[in-house]
Amino acid sequence: MRTRVVGVRRACDRFGSDSGPLRSELRCSVGVEAFLTLAKAELTWLYVEPARHRQGIGRVLLCHVLEAGDSARIECTVPAGNDNARALYESAGFVVVETKAGKLAGNERFAATGHVMEWHRP
């Protein structure tokens, strides 16, 4: 598994100049308040600090994965009930292919349900 935050700047070039508010926010946030991890063709974590939600940071991180990755297909699992995350992925072209119920990985005492989503390179 590798953490991908290097190169996010390239993915957010479309958001304006270096002095733009989103660019500045990303410089302060990436690696501290926002991160993503990839394992092969699976997006395992895309996290943005709740205080930074609805500012476009998650979208920039996701765009980076889709633009910089070399996989024809990327999979992720979104916890049931996380409608904002599901909407973000769907807006980028991900579709739900399966819903799974089971135990929370790493803390098997808790039941969890998640939507397995896939994105295919056009």
Distances (CA, A) of 72 to 4, 67, 75, 122: 18, 11, 10, 8
Query: Could you give the CA distance from residue 107 to residue 58 in angstroms, rounded to a whole number?
Result: 26
How much is the pLDDT for 45? 79
Query: What domains sit in the chain, N to C, each tagged with a CATH number?
Result: 2-120 (3.40.630.30)
For every one of its 122 residues, what pLDDT tens digit does the chain have, with 9 covering 90 and above?
A: 333 443 444 444 444 444 433 333 444 444 334 445 555 688 877 888 888 888 888 898 888 888 877 788 889 999 999 999 999 999 999 999 999 999 877 778 889 999 999 999 88
